[in-house]
Structure 1
Amino acid sequence: MKVKSTLAKPFANIIYNKIKKEMASALKDQEAILQYLLKTAKNTQFGKDHHFDTIKNYDDYKQTVPIRDYEALKPYIEKIKEGKEHILWKGKPLYFAKTSGTTSGAKYIPISKESISNHIDTARNALLCYIAQSKNANFTNGNMIFLSGSPALDRIANIPTGRLSGIVNHHVPSYLRTNQLPKFETNCIDDWETKLDKIVEETIDKNMTLISGIPPWVQMYFDRLTEKTGKKIIDLFPNFSVLVYGGVNFEPYKQKLFDSIGKEIDSIELFPASEGFFAFQDSQTEKGMLLNTNSGIFFEFIPTEEIGKDKPKRLSLKEVTLGENYALIINNNAGLWGYDIGDTIKFVNLNPYRIIVSGRTKHFISAFGEHVIGEEVDFSIAEAAKKFNTKIIEYTVAPVVERGNGKSYHEWFIEFEKQPENLPAFAKEIDNQLRKKNVYYDDLIAGNILQQLKIRPIQKDGFINYMKSIGKLGGQNKLPRLGNDRKVAEGLSPFIEK
C-alpha cells in the first residue's frame, strides 16, 4: 500500500474545506489582519514613526502610511542590518530573503517567525487543493524536484540570509524530504549549467512524479534530458503527472513544455515572492489563482492609472472590481508597510477572490503613450503562435524611437523552436492581436505615428547566453518581457540571427 498517497487524501480534504470557509470570510479576515498588524507593531520604530496607536481603521491607515518601494523602506532595513531590534516588526527577522534589485542593487526582505508559515503553508495548500479536487495523490509516492536557488545561507547581523527558494528548502516537511531531489549538495552549486548537469544525472533514472520551477528553466532541464536520451519526458518519467510553476506567464511556454513532455499534464500556478506568497491555483477548472486572504498579509490595490501619483487612490479588497489592472500593495507580519511589490494583477472572480498576474509596474512600453503591458504582449504572441502552429522559446520587446522622418516601432526579439515560414505575416498577426488588446497602440498605428512591429529572430540558446552574460542564468531569475528603454535589446544584439 502506498502510505503517503493514502494519508494525503483525507488531510487534503481537511485543508481544502478550511480554505473554502476562508473564501467566504475573506473580507472579515482582511479587516482582522490589519488590526492585528497594527496592534503587534505599534511599539516598533516604524509603528511609532507612523502613530500606529492612533489608527482605528483603513481610512486612518491610508492617511498615515504612504506607499513605499524598497528604496523608501531601505533606511529601516539598514537599521536591522546593523543589528537593531523592533524596527519594522517585533524582535529581529528570522531570515533575510536576498533578491536582485534594479536601482537598489541587492534587496534584503525580512521574513519573521510569524511570516515564514505564509511561504511554507501556501505551497503545501496548493498541492492539497489539487489532491482534494483531482483525487490524484499518487505523485506523493514518487520523486519531486524543485528547481530553485541555493539553500546555502550567509549571515547579516546574525540573521540567516539567502534566496527565498533556498530558505524554503530548509523547511520542506520531513515526510517529503525523502522524496525530494536534487541532493542538498547539488542545490548548493552556484553555476546554473553545472548544477543542471548534476540534476539531470541525479534524476534521469528516478521515478519523477512532480516537477516545479520557473518555466524557462524547467524547459532547459527538459531539453538537457532529451539531448542526453533522445526521449520525451513522459517516456523517461511515465508517472510524471504534475507540473508546478510560477514567476512568469505560462502561456508562451505552454505548448513547447507539453511537447517536450509528450502530452498535456495537470499544472498548478503559484504566485510567490520574497515579500510573501500571494496567491495559488486552487482549481483545475476555474481561471486564476486564489488570493491568500488569511495568511498574515493585508492587501491594497492601486488602479494602474494612479501609479506614480503622490497620493494615488488606494483600495481595500472590498472595493475592487472585475477586469481592472491594479498595482498590488502589501502590508505583512514581517514588517512591510504600504509596500509596492512591483506586480500588477487583475481580478477574474470576486467570489471567491481570484486573480491573474497581468504584468510589472516597471515592465511596460509607453515610449509613445501606448502603455502596453505584459498581459497584452503575452496574449498577442500566444494567439499568433497558435495560428501559425509555431513554438516560442523566449522573447522580449523594446521600443525603437526613430529620429527625423523615420517612423518609430516596437522591436520584438523572439527565439523560435522553428521559425514561421512567413515571418512578416506572423509579425502582422501579433500586431493585429495587440491592436485588439490595446486601444492606444491601435490609435498610434492607425494614425501613422507608429509603424508595424518588427521581429528580430534570436539564434538558438541566444536568451540563455544573454542571461549567462549578465550573470542571471537559472534559479529564480526572469527575463523582463517588456522594457521602456533599450537596455535588454542592446544586450541581445550579439545574439540576433544574421
Structure 2
Amino acid sequence: MGWKSTLIRPYAAYISRKIDRMARNAKEDQHSIRQMIIQKARDTVFGRDHSFDRIKTYSDFKNHIPIHDYEGSRAYFDRVRDGESDILWPGKPKYFAKTSGTTSGTKYIPITQESLPNHFNTARNALFHYGIKQNNLRFLDGKVIFLSGSPILEKTNGILTGRLSGIVNYEVPGWLKKTQVPTWETNCVEDWEKKVDLIVQETKDIDLRLISGIPPWVQMYYERLLAATNKKTIKGLFPHYSVFVYGGVNFEPYRAQLEELVGQRIDSVETYPASEGFIAFQDTYPHEGMLLNTRSGIFFEFIPVSEFGREDAARFSVDEVETGVEYVLIINSNAGLWGYNLGDTVRFLSTNPYRLIVTGRIKHFISAFGEHVIGKEVEEALRNTIDKFPAQIVEFTVAPQVNPEEGLPYHEWFIEFGREPENIEEFSNELDRQMVQQNSYYEDLIIGNILRPLVVTPLRQNTFREYMKTKGKLGGQNKVPRLANDRDIAASLESLGKKS
C-alpha cells in the first residue's frame, strides 16, 4: 500500500466499526433521531403549525405530521427559498439543492449545517467501509473521478444554490481534492459532450483507480476513452482501476456492456443518494441490497404501496417493516423535511440488519390496464432474459400502446442494444414470459386476451443520449425513466431512433 492508504487505514477501520454498530442499533437510533429533530424544530413555523410540543410518541408523530411531497408543502419551501428564517428548521439552510420535479417544476431542497454530514460523510463512510471489508484502500493512492454536474452555484436570496453533485465539490476535504479529477475548469463546463471529451484528455494518461457515476454516462466516458487512446479495454488503460461506485439506477441492465468495456469484472459499490438525503449504501460485497442509513439525521417511515394514497394507509417505522413488501419511502430530517414523500419505492431484503433495494418510482409505473407494473419487475425480467441470450443493453424504457392500429393493446419496450440478439422475436417471447412471472396482474391480462404479448422496438445507437440531450438532461445525475403510463417518451424515441 502507498503512504496515503496506510495513513488513512486506522481512521477507515474506525468508520467501518461505526457502520457495523449502526447496523446493529438501527431501531434505537431511529427513535432517538425522531425525538431529536422534533425537539430541535419545535419552535419553527412548521413546528408550531403542527404542534410539535405535543408530540411524545410515534403515534403522536403520525397524528401531527401529514404525508406530502414537495408540492404538498410548497408554501413552506417557498418561504425558505425567499430567505425567511426558522420555517422548517432553525435558521436558514447553507445550500439549496436545485432539482427538476416531474410535477412541481424546479424544487429547492434545503441542506442545513446539521444535514451536511448526512450527504458528505456518508459517501466517505461508504468508501472507507468498502476499503476495510475488501482490504482495498489502494484506490486512495491514485486518482479518483466523480462524474458529476457543474459545481457553479448561484445565490437564491443569499443562499448558495445548485445541483447536489456540484455542491459536493465545495465540501470535498483537502486530502481528497489533491487526488480528484477533473480540474475545476473542466467540471464547470455545462455541455456534457464537450465536458466528457475534456475529461478524457485530462485522464487518459493518469493512474485512475476509482470511478464514480451513473452507469449510462460512465459508459459514454469509457467509449470515448477507448476511442481516444486506441486501447482495447479500460483496464488496459488504467491497470490499477479497482472499484466502480454508482447510484441512481439499477446496475444490472448495464453490467455486461460496462464489463466488456472494462475488460473484466471489478468491485462495485452501490449507493442511494438523493438531493433530500443519503438514504443507504452497500455494506457487504458482493451482496444485493444496501444498508439503511439509520444514524445520520433522517427518521425513516414506510407506507405499503398497496395502501398509498388512502387516508387510512398504514405508516411504519423501521420497527414494523417486513421483507418482501413494496413500500413508499418517507423521510423526516434535520434538513427540515417532514413527512416527505421522496417518490421512491423500496423493498427490504432483511430486517437484521435493514438492507433494502430500490424498486422504482411511485409515479413511474404502467397501469393502463390495472397491471401496475413497477421498475423492479421490468429490470428483473430483462436481466433474466439477457441471461438466456447473447445480448447487451445500452438503455431501455417501457410504455403502453393502448390504441394500436390493429390487434390488442400491448406493452412496448424501446431498447437500445449494445449487442442485439440474433432473433428479436425469440428474445421478445422470452421477455414476455419473464414479465408474466414477475407480475400476476400482467399474466391475467395476457391470459384473458386483454393484452397481447409485449413488443420490442430496437432503437438506433445513441438514441437515448439524443433524447436526453433534447430535454437538456444529458449527463450528470440525470436518468431515463424506466416506465411511463403514457406515450410521451415513446413518441420522442420513435421520432429519433426507431429502426426501419
Q: TM-score, normalised by structure 2?
A: 0.98
Q: Residues 47-82 of structure 1: CA distance to partner in whole angstroms, max 9, x if unpaired?
A: 000000001111111111110101011111111122
Give the letter aligned to residue 430 of structure 1: L
Residues matched between the structures, number: 498
One-letter amino acid of the structure 1 residue matched with residue 498 of structure 2:
I
| Structure 2: distance between partners of 1:439 and 1:82 | 48
Structure 1 equivalent of residue 310 of structure 2? 309
Find the counterpart in structure 2 of residue 287 from structure 1. 288
C-alpha distance in structure 1 between counterparts of 2:170 and 2:284, whole Å = 28
Deviation string for 1:313-355 (max 9, x for gaps)?
1011000001111000000001000000000011001111101
Unmatched 5+ residue regions in structure 2? none
- TM-superposed CA distance for 1:142, in Å, is 0.5
Matched, 1:407 2:408: yes
User: Are 1:447 and 2:448 an aligned pair?
Assistant: yes
Q: Shift of the alpha carbon at 1:173?
A: 1.3
Q: Deviations over 1:159-181 (max 9, x none)?
A: 00000011111111111111000
Structure 2 residue aligned with 1:276: 277
Offset of 1:418 from its aligned partner? Answer: 2.0
State the Cα deviation string for residues 230-282 of structure 1 (Å, max 9, x = none): 32100110000000000001100011111100000000000000000000001
Partner secondary structure for residue 168 of structure 1: helix
Matches within 5 A, 1:326-475: 326-402=327-403, 406-475=407-476
Task: Give the share of equivalent positions with the same residue, in percent.
Answer: 55
1:159 correspondence with 2:159? yes
Query: Which position in structure 1 is the counterpart of 2:499?
Result: 497
Q: Which SS does the other structure have where 2:228 is aligned?
A: helix
Shift in Å, 1:8: 2.5
Report deviation, 1:311: 3.8
User: 1:177 & 1:489 partners in 2: Cα distance?
Assistant: 42
Q: Is the 8 A contact 1:129 1:283 kept in 2?
A: no
Which residue of 1 is the match for residue 321 of structure 2?
A: 320
How do residues 93-132 of structure 1 correspond to structure 2 at under 5 angstroms?
93-132=93-132
SS state of the match for residue 388, structure 1? coil
Greater Cα offset, 380-389 or 215-224: 380-389
State how far apart, in whole Å, the 2-side matches of 1:90 and 1:79 are.
13
Q: What letter is aligned with 1:190?
A: E
Corresponding residue number in structure 2 for 1:235: 236
Using the size of structure 1 for normalisation, the TM-score is 0.99
Q: Deviations over 1:389-421 (max 9, x none)?
A: 110000000001027973110000000112111
Provide the rounded CA distance (Å) in 1 between the counterparts of 2:71 and 2:175.
40
Give the drift of 1:310: 3.0
What's 1:192 paired with? 192
CA contact (8 A) 1:9 1:135 kept: no
Listed one character per residue, the Cα deviations across residues 215-238 of structure 1 (whole Å, up to 9, x for unaligned) are 000001001111222321001100
- Tell me whether 1:82 sits opposite 2:82 in the alignment: yes
**Letter of the aligned partner of 1:73 in structure 2?**
S
Q: Helix, strand or coil for the counterpart of 1:365?
A: coil
> Aligned equivalents of 2:287 and 2:474: distance in 1?
33
Instruction: Go from structure 1 to structure 2 and tell me whether the alpha carbon gap of 1:368 and 1:92 turns closer, same or farther (over 3 Å shift).
Output: same
- CA positional deviation for 1:285: 3.4
Q: Tell me if 1:225 matches 2:220.
A: no
Match of residue 261 from structure 1: 262
Per the alignment, in what secondary structure is the counterpart of residue 294 of structure 2?
A: coil
Distance between the aligned counterparts of 1:84 and 1:14, measured in 2? 40
Contact 1:96 1:160 (8 Å CA) reproduced: yes
> Which residue number corresponds to residue 42 of structure 1?
42
* TM-fit CA distance, 1:21: 1.3
- Give, as a single letter, the amino acid of the residue that structure 2 aligns with 1:423: I
Give the Cα–Cα distance (whole angstroms) in 2 for the partners of residues 184 and 259 of structure 1.
30
Deviations 1:424-483 (A, max 9, x none): 110011110111111110111111110000011110101101111111100111000000
Letter in 2 for 1:453: L
Amino acid at match of 1:2: G
Q: Tell me the CA shift for residue 286 of structure 1.
A: 3.2
Task: Could you tell me which runs of 5 or more consecutive residues in structure 1 were left unpaired when the two chains were aligned.
Answer: none
Name the counterpart of 1:27. 27
Asked whether the 8 Å contact 1:392–1:414 carries over to 2, the reply is: yes
Counterpart-to-counterpart distance in 1, 2:258 and 2:204: 17
Structure-1 separation of matches of 2:466 and 2:286: 37
Following the alignment from structure 1 to structure 2, what is the Cα–Cα distance between the partners of residues 172 and 306? 41
Structure 1 position 6 matched with structure 2 position 6: yes
- Aligned amino acid, residue 143 of structure 1: K
| Alpha-carbon shift at residue 294 of structure 1 (Å) | 0.5
Residue number in structure 2 paired with 1:244: 245
